[in-house]
């Protein structure tokens, strides 16, 4: 009998702990003064000290003043004092001590105006027909539950009184009016996407697992079936490569934004999901979306499962190797009917961007959080391009040294196994030691020279060693002139440039400007005023330089041997 009482007591204690570590939300729609809002009611076990902190960042993901989206907040259950703290990213609630429950209610509003741009998508979007929010600017979290529960708490969300035609979808499921999220963490829960409204849901089954494509809008350059096929092939190819079909649910969202000219798209890798926005116009580059999906979903392994030991110092791996496998997986799986020609074209672009970068030989030791996010030209792309070229070299080197029996694929799977077994992270010593298992000679000298010191690769030697055919010259982007500080006129011009040959001159004043930055495929078009006359000028912004480029031919395609 004594044992039974003890077990019953432990059961009650467990139930009580479960309640203390649970946060419940009820979300409903609200129209106030003609404005569409979302009302959030949350209940939880408050801090016994008499002060409960609700986490809600004022600055996040490049956005600031996020507290402005809170239209009203009040304590329903008790008489309490609420104080916002923007600098700390929370709301402080003073209440009686040792309460069993605290009930808070607040409303979220959209604070961006006009047509939707890429920048606006990282703030709450709440319209009559749909809503689109990231959870860090949607759901407040009690700080004591997040921290005291050792980052292991439960969340319950009830979606109440939404119109019957509304389609609900988020990082944790679709079309579920009641959701239970067990054993989550602040990072996982606050890195999620929530949508509802006139979205179309496409359920893709991949080896028994669900991938849900959530999209809205009438797209000018593709239909839903095209994007579904792209996602199906992308996810299948990546999971097959990594031998990892463990994720039972994954959501991919896509919403349209406004851009008059050019192609713009952006995505964020999230918990069980990937949120995307793209410009809905005739210029939208579908190949670019293919690249975006493949690059970002690849990060489920490189950069997420296989982590960097020192984040920016190993960006050459988490970003560079991701770039290389983005091209490799697309070509191998023929995503969007892209093949080895696509790989060669894009890899040549990577080479051009690396070798023409103003920081192309910056030592890896100088890459840190401050320099990477400094905005200095070329720095952010440097580890992407340097790492991709290194991955190409190492892939072919392993194939050559093992007579085609092994490749870089085997090394990456080795990294995955070590990460799963003992949480091994990528650092330079571990990388070299593991890579050397697949090579005839020590990689250290090559690695030190080109990754750590940042010296440019000897492309001709690399291509010749592995039997690739290449041309010696290529055209690269060159606008040919410099803008004045206010961008109103030409301050200086290269007399050997296409700009000069087309008729532009130093001192010309711009009436209209149209060009695609860093693109050699589109003409630059200008209307300038000179001597009170308007002159229309267009040209391809290119120049020829000495730089080896892979030839797009049958021989090189066979050498790639995907």
pLDDT value for 18: 56
Which single residue is written with the structure tokens 């959701």? 179
Q: Residues 287, 265: contact at Cβ < 8 Å? A: no
Q: Please state the pTM of the whole predicted model.
A: 0.87
Phi, psi for 533 (deg, rounded to 5):
-115, 145
Which single residue is written with the structure tokens 């149209």? 514
- In the predicted model, what is the mean pLDDT of residues 473-502? 95
State yes or no: pLDDT of 321 exceeds 50: yes
Which range has the worst mean pLDDT, 14-28, 68-82, 108-122, 508-522? 14-28
pLDDT confidence band for 8 (50 / 70 / 90): very low
Rounded to whole angstroms, the Cα distance separating 221 from 274 reads 21
Q: Helix (H, G, I), strand (E, B), or coil: what is residue 160?
A: strand
Q: Helix (H, G, I), strand (E, B), or coil: what is residue 357?
A: coil
Which single residue is written with the structure tokens 């990082």? 171
Rounded to whole angstroms, the Cα distance separating 294 from 288 reads 10
Domain with CATH 2.30.42.10 in the chain: 479-540
- The angle subtended at Cα 298 by Cα 251 and Cα 418, nearest 5°, is 115
pLDDT value for 147: 83
- In the predicted model, what is the mean pLDDT of residues 101-128? 92
Q: What per-residue string of b and e applies to 333-358 under the rule 16 or more CB within 10 Å gives b? A: bebbebbbebbbebbbbbbbbbbbbe
Rounded to whole angstroms, the Cα distance separating 501 from 153 reads 66
Q: What topology does CATH give the domain 311-469+551-560?
A: Neutral Protease; domain 2 (1.10.390)
pLDDT value for 6: 44
pLDDT value for 62: 84
* Cβ-based burial of 297 (10 A; exposed 0-12, middle 13-18, buried ≥19): buried
State yes or no: pLDDT of 5 exceeds 80: no
pLDDT value for 191: 94
pLDDT confidence band for 375 (50 / 70 / 90): confident
Rounded to whole angstroms, the Cα distance separating 129 from 198 reads 6
Structure tokens at 417: 């196994």
Nearest to 519 by CA among 317, 271, 353: 353
Question: What mean pLDDT value characterizes the chain?
Answer: 93
Strands (E), 360-479: 470-477
Among the CATH numbers 2.30.42.10, 3.30.420.40, 3.40.50.620, 3.40.50.720, which is that of 479-540? 2.30.42.10
pLDDT value for 98: 83
Report which secondary-structure segment, H or E, holds 343: helix 340-355
Domain with CATH 1.10.390 in the chain: 311-469+551-560
pLDDT value for 148: 66
Q: What per-residue string of b and e applies to 174-211 under the rule 16 or more CB within 10 Å gives b? A: beeeeeebeebebebbbbbbbbbbebeebebebeeeeb
């Amino acid at each position: 009998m004594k044992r039974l009482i003890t077990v019953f007591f432990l059961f009650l204690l467990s139930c009580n702990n479960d309640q203390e570590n649970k946060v419940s939300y009820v979300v409903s729609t609200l129209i106030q003064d003609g404005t569409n809002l979302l009302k959030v009611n949350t209940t939880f076990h408050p801090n016994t000290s008499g002060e409960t902190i609700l986490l809600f960042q004022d600055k996040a993901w490049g956005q600031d003043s996020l507290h402005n989206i809170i239209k009203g907040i009040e304590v329903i259950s008790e008489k309490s004092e609420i104080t916002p703290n923007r600098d700390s990213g929370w709301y402080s609630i003073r209440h009686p001590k040792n309460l069993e429950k605290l009930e808070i209610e607040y409303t979220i509003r959209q604070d961006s105006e006009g047509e939707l741009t890429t920048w606006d998508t990282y703030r709450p979007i709440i319209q009559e027909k749909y809503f689109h929010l990231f959870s860090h600017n949607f759901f407040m979290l009690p700080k004591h539950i997040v921290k005291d529960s050792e980052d292991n708490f439960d969340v319950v969300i009830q979606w109440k009184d939404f119109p019957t035609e509304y389609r609900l979808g988020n990082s944790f499921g679709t079309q579920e009016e009641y959701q239970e999220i067990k054993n989550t963490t602040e990072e996982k829960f606050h890195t999620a996407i929530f949508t509802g409204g006139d979205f179309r849901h496409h359920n893709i089954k991949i080896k028994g697992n669900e991938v849900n494509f959530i999209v809205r809008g009438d797209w000018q350059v593709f239909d839903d079936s095209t994007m579904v096929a792209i996602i199906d092939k992308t996810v299948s190819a990546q999971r097959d490569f990594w031998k990892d079909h463990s994720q039972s649910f994954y959501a991919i969202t896509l919403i349209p934004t406004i851009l008059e000219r050019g192609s713009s798209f952006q995505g964020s890798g999230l918990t069980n999901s990937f949120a995307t926005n793209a410009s809905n116009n005739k210029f939208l580059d579908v190949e670019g979306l293919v690249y975006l999906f493949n690059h970002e979903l690849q990060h489920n392994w490189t950069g997420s499962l296989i982590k960097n030991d020192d984040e920016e110092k190993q960006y050459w791996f988490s970003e560079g190797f991701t770039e290389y496998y983005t091209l490799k997986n697309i070509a191998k799986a023929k995503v969007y009917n892209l093949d080895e020609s696509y790989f060669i074209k894009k890899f040549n672009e990577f080479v051009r961007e690396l070798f023409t970068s103003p920081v192309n030989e910056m030592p890896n030791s100088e890459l840190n959080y401050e320099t990477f996010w400094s905005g200095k030209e070329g720095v952010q792309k440097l580890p992407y391009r340097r790492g991709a070229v290194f991955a190409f070299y190492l892939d072919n080197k392993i194939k050559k040294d093992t007579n085609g029996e092994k490749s870089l694929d085997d090394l990456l799977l080795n990294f995955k196994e070590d990460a799963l077994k003992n949480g091994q992270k990528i650092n330079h010593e571990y990388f070299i030691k593991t890579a050397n298992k697949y090579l005839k000679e020590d990689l250290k000298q090559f690695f030190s020279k080109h990754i750590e010191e940042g010296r440019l690769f000897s492309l001709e030697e690399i291509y010749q060693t592995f039997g690739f055919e290449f041309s010696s010259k290529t055209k690269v982007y060159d606008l040919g002139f410099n803008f004045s500080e206010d961008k109103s006129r030409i301050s200086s011009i290269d007399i050997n440039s296409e700009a000069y040959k087309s008729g532009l001159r130093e001192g010309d004043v711009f009436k209209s400007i149209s060009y695609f930055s860093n693109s050699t495929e589109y003409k630059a078009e200008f209307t300038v005023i000179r001597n009170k006359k308007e002159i229309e000028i267009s040209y391809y912004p290119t120049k020829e330089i000495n730089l080896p480029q892979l030839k797009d031919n049958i021989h090189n395609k066979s050498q790639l041997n995907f």
